[in-house]
Amino acid sequence: MGEQRYFQQGEIVGVLPAGALDRVLDYKAPEGGCRLGAFVEVPLGPRKIVGVVWKEGAGTWDPAKVRSIKRVLEATPMQPNMRSFLTRAAEYTLTPMSAMLRLATRAPGLGDTPAMRKIYRLGANVPDRLTPTRERVLQVLKDYPSLSFSLKEVADMAGVTPSVVKGLAKMGAVVEADAPRDTAYPKLDPSYAGKTLSPDQDAGARQLRSAVAAGRYGTTLLKGVTGSGKTEVYLEAVAECLAQGRQALVLLPEIALTSEFLTRVEARFGARPAEWHSGVTMAERRRAWKMVGEGGAQLVVGARSALFLPFQNLGLIVVDEEHDTSYKQEDGVLYNARDMAVLRASISAAHVVLATATPSLESWVNAEQGKYAKLELKSRFGPAVMPQMRAVDMRDQDLPSDRWISPALADAVRSRIEKSEQSLLFINRRGYAPITLCRACGHQIGCDDCDARMVEHRFLKRLVCHQCGETKPMPAVCPSCEAEDKLAPVGPGVERLTEEAEALFEGARVVTLSSDHFGSARAMKEQIESIAAGDADVIIGTQLVAKGHNFPKLTLVGVIDADLGLQGSDLRAAERTFQLMRQVAGRAGRAEVAGTALLQTYQPDHPVIRSILSGDEDGFWAAEAAEREAAGVPPYGRMAGIILSSENVQEVFDLGAAMARNDGPLRQVGATVYGPAPAPIARIRGRHRVRMLVKADKSVPLQAALSRWTAQFKIPNSVRLAIDIDPQSFF
């Protein structure tokens, strides 16, 4: 069967429905026929759903009873390599194909008639004399005579207000017309404005350009200290990809990083790329999806789900901050975007750049073993140097029980305020306090639907469950004993730390950077820009501040509780603590003034704390790798998490026990199953949760064994079974 196969009207085709039944269904090709890979609308019972022509029909049904495809949608057919990627991703993650296809069809109104919008292009009535702002608008349109742009696009590219463009339209110098909303994005110019690179950056850029120009699959781990200019280096790889006429994708772990990054892309290539994340409007998401498929989007900057866009000629994927846990989707389809990026690139003959200051152990081991190429930037760009890192031994600090900023850290902050420098106080806890305790009976306020404590958020004036999102007002009396005025906050969150800082540093400008404090991406962007401009003295932040922001006046970082991540039994606890502390400390001293990082700790002799302070990264990774190898856990072994949930607690424990007893398919390949046991958070949204863990050697075909194992059991409709290949968390 040829990949360009065209089915004539009435031929039986196999359609894979998106998000519906997990099997290919037979339909008749519609009037005018359809191509293999075509996006189609088909009837399924009383509904109409979107699907893809996946293969020839099975032909096992009476043709007279086979229903016809309703219509072929106006979208470029799905390419063979995209169908291959979805198939292999589904096989790896043990996800139903229909659910995997749903990730690839998340374009709002995919089958709707294209919406219209106003577009602007060069007109004929250009006056002899123009203001400089009007000249800039006309020059932009002259530079791209074959393209039409929206009002915002023209204004942004010319650096003017929309009213300037409107004024030119009134005089006829610019033509305003109606056009379909889904139009191509402005062309990016690879040679527009390349930055002057340091010798290290230039060598790295040449290595990446060469890898991209080769036009075949490969992965490079781009490891550079914070402030070394990794972005400028991998943007040169993007430039090479664009020069080759291929498409590029840059994944970012947080929406908060997108705005600043888009500005840098525009400065480098002369225009803004396509965006893909939850903060983008529905209309713009539809446009991005269609233009990626038609080749009208050269570069996409997006969240992990951008991996499932229908690229026609993908040449490069950059995973920025590749170590970040945000790349793992923890609900619905369970996948790690870093690993799926490598899979997609291997199928598309594209190159992958994994960029980070603190690599995941998996990527570090792959680079050490030669599976990935290595590229390292060991010094900061320009005159900036790495911050000095010191421990504050909290055992020696005289601190009241309701205060968390040590005298040593407070003195350091005051010193920076006197010099008009900025300080960052970091605590990885949202809200005001993690526990609300009754001092009369000891009751802790919890969520009604989850086995989790409610977190007080004074900014919102609510108690919030961080598992299900449920909120409620702070009660006037204890819900258990009804005592009045006995509810007290226990422990610090970012809001409580802000309150303490405002009292300690009277007159200082104290701002809070936490995702809960912003109603929109625009508000967050404005706050970040304000801090970067120097409009704050003390910044109180959660892990949001550890991700890629550049504050030139920031010279001190204080970590309130460096021991927090070392607690518990997570096999990645040491790795994640090391990464987070190094990333947070890296915010300090990124300009001319040297920075300092103070880590408040009760365990200054802990091996991880010592590694953080010494800066011996390779020594830390080598020691961590040796421990994992000895234990036979990732990346030297394989693991899968099994999560059973039901509203009936006995039902999930009985099923889990039966699965553990009948583990023959796992034992046949040498795999071991542990559990069942209550999940650390044993109830979420009213459903009781039981976890099991399967552990096997690295060479074991684990997915096949898991499929045979779970196929033995009839899972009741009341029970949900989730299989998490390569789990990153164990909640």
User: Which amino acids are annotated as binding site for Zn(2+), given as ranges?
Assistant: 438, 441, 447, 450, 465, 468, 478, 481
Task: Round to whole Å and give the CA distance between 168 and 134.
Answer: 7
| β strands within 232-313, DSSP E | 247-251, 274-276, 299-302
Q: Is the peptide bond before 727 cis (omega within 30 degrees of 0)?
A: no
DSSP string, 180-249: ES--PPPPP-TTS-PPPPPHHHHHHHHHHHHHHHTTS-EEEEEEE-TTS-HHHHHHHHHHHHHHTT-EEE
Q: Is the peptide bond before 383 cis (omega within 30 degrees of 0)?
A: no
Closest-CA residue to 585 (of 546, 542, 639)? 546
Task: Round to whole Å and give the CA distance between 13 and 670.
Answer: 42
Three-state SS string across 350-387, please?
Answer: CEEEEEECCCCHHHHHHHHCCCCEEEEECCCCCCCCCC
Closest-CA residue to 423 (of 330, 511, 303)? 511
Tell me if 253 sits within 8 A of 247, measured CB to CB: no
CA 396 vs CA 105, 392, 393, 563: distances in Å: 58, 8, 6, 16
Tell me if 431 sits within 8 A of 464, measured CB to CB: yes
Annotated binding site: 438, 441, 447, 450, 465, 468, 478, 481
The residue whose two tokens read 């029970």 is 719
Closest-CA residue to 646 (of 683, 619, 674)? 683
Task: Round to whole Å and give the CA distance between 236 and 241.
Answer: 9
Closest-CA residue to 554 (of 585, 581, 575)? 585
Task: Round to whole Å and give the CA distance between 267 and 167.
Answer: 26
Strands 71-72 and 174-180: unpaired
Strands 596-601 and 554-559: parallel
Task: Round to whole Å and give the CA distance between 7 and 72.
Answer: 12
Task: Round to whole Å and give the CA distance between 507 and 120.
Answer: 50
Tell me if 50 sits within 8 A of 40, measured CB to CB: yes
Q: What is the DSSP letter of 115?
A: P
Produce one character per residue of 586-599: b if its CB has 16 or more CB atoms within 10 Å, e if not.
bbbbbbebebbbbb
472, containing H or E segment: strand 471-472
Residues 6+ apart with CB under 8 A from 211: 218, 220, 237, 351, 373
